[in-house]
Amino acid sequence: MAIEFIDIVETSLAGLGTGSLMALTGVAFVIIYKATKVINLAIGEMLMIGAFVFYGFSAGLALPIWASVPATLVVAALIGGVIERTMIRPLLKDNPVSVFMVTIGLTSVLIGVVELVWSAEPRRLPEFLPQQPVLLGDAFIPSKTAYSFLIASAVMAVLITVFAFWRGGIALRATATDRAAASSVGIDVPGVFSFSWMLAATVAALAGILVGSVGGISSAMGLFGLSVFVVVIVGGLDSILGALIAGLFIGWLEAMVGRFMGGEFKLLATFSILLIVLVVRPYGLFGTHEIERL
């Protein structure tokens, strides 16, 4: 069957929609890495617990959406703060592998908490995004995909602006570069650590709400984090802009491969890109190239 131009446009738009959610989650990962150099393998599960907290407020307590979203973000920030203070900070002076292992353990803890509170059964979030499909000319975009893309784009634009110009963003970059120097000029380094985890948890929770609204929620939805790791490695572990561009690209690529080659080839394409980037540019497309002098 011949490939029509409108097919390519529609599939590209759908892919960008999914990619924006990957990018948003990738940004959450990058925020933590930029500030603390911690590779947080539990980012998918932080997204998941945010989605379930939202489910608890909106479906369990039947709060309106305008109350459920901010309440979820506050709870997510608290969870992020508690994780940093109790599990991450005590280990920051140790071998980075210890912290890495803790984040692996954290995935099991978060899945366990969700299954204890909400069980492992898949659920659907209450419908809160507009139901009417969006049409760009002849191109059809499912409503949730379109509105998720808009929300994720707006949040990322705010984050990029804030980190570029706000003093907090500069403090975060300074802490990432040299903790001792940052501390010597009066930056509250422990505060920056806590702030980065709280902010990342908040962003991940927002991504979880959007991902859950599109595909439903379950204790296994942390698998979404697998594609996000590809995004942050391709974009560069410490680049918010890199996460944004790589997220959109990977989302687009998966959609095009799924549409024109078949869904079974999606992961093959994604991980092929990962392999190529690791070989050619191991610090990512936009990551900092650290030169080690021996």
Partner 1 sequence: MTRLSRRAFHQLGLGAALVSTASGRAFAQAPELVIGAANPMSGVFAFAGVEGFEGGRDHFEFVNRAGGVGGRRIRYVNEDSGYRVDNAVAIFTRITSQHQTPVFFGDSTGFQKAINPELNRRGSTVMAGASFASEIDNPQAFPNQWIPGPNYSDQFRVLLRYIASQKKGASVVFVHSDTEFGRDPIAAGEAEARRLELNVVEKIVTQPGSVDVSGDVLKIRRRNPDYVIFHGYVLQPIPEFMAQARQAGMTSRFMGTFYSTDTVLMNRAGAAADGYMGVSCYNFDANAQGAQVDAIRAANVGKTRTHAYYQGWMNAMLAVEVLRRTLAANEELNAVNMMKHARALKNYDTGGVVGVPISMVGNSFPHGRVYQYSAADKVLKPASDWITISAGA
3 state DSSP class of 134: strand
25 part of the interface to partner 1, by CB under 8 A: no
115 part of the interface to partner 1, by CB under 8 A: yes
Measured CA to CA, the distance from residue 276 to residue 177 in angstroms comes to 27
Q: Which of 66, 121, 167, 292 binds partner 1 (CB under 8 A)?
A: 121
> Is residue 205 within a helix (H) or strand (E), and if so which, with residue range?
helix 189-215
Residues 182-194 as b/e (b if ≥16 CB within 10 A, e otherwise) read beeeebebeebbb
178 part of the interface to partner 1, by CB under 8 A: no
17 part of the interface to partner 1, by CB under 8 A: yes
215 part of the interface to partner 1, by CB under 8 A: yes
Q: Which of 219, 229, 242, 286 binds partner 1 (CB under 8 A)?
A: 219
125 part of the interface to partner 1, by CB under 8 A: no
Q: Which of 64, 70, 90, 133 binds partner 1 (CB under 8 A)?
A: 133
DSSP 8-state code for residue 286: S
216 part of the interface to partner 1, by CB under 8 A: yes
DSSP 8-state code for residue 217: B
218 part of the interface to partner 1, by CB under 8 A: yes
Please choose, out of 17-25, 72-80, 178-186, 241-249, the segment that lies near partner 1 by the rule CB under 8 A.
17-25
3 state DSSP class of 137: coil
> CB-wise, 1 or 180, nearer to partner 1?
1
Q: Taking the complex as a whole, how short is the minimal distance between the CB of residue 19 and partner 1, in angstroms?
A: 10
Q: Taking the complex as a whole, how short is the minimal distance between the CB of residue 231 and partner 1, in angstroms?
A: 14
Q: CA nearest 252: which of 282, 260, 82, 174?
A: 260
Placement of tokens 């790589």 in the chain: 246
Q: Taking the complex as a whole, how short is the minimal distance between the CB of residue 151 and partner 1, in angstroms?
A: 14
Residue 135 pairs with which residues in a beta bridge? Answer: 140
Tokens representing residue 131 in the block: 């139901």
14 part of the interface to partner 1, by CB under 8 A: yes
Contact (CB, 8 A) for 183 and 52: no
Placement of tokens 């379950």 in the chain: 218
Give the x-and-dash track for 267-286 against partner 1 (CB under 8 A): x-------------------
89 part of the interface to partner 1, by CB under 8 A: no
Q: Which of 86, 95, 131, 184 binds partner 1 (CB under 8 A)?
A: 131
3 state DSSP class of 86: helix
DSSP 8-state code for residue 91: G
Measured CA to CA, the distance from residue 203 to residue 73 in angstroms comes to 8
Q: Which of 54, 163, 193, 224 binds partner 1 (CB under 8 A)?
A: 224
Q: CA nearest 193: which of 71, 103, 46, 86?
A: 86
> CB-wise, 84 or 254, nearer to partner 1?
254
> CB-wise, 108 or 177, nearer to partner 1?
108
Give the Å distances, CA to CA, from 287 to 90, 271, 283. 27, 19, 5
Binding site for partner 1 (CB under 8 A): 7, 10-11, 14-15, 17-18, 21, 115, 119-124, 131-133, 140-145, 211, 214-216, 218-221, 223-224, 226, 254-255, 258-259, 262-264, 266-267
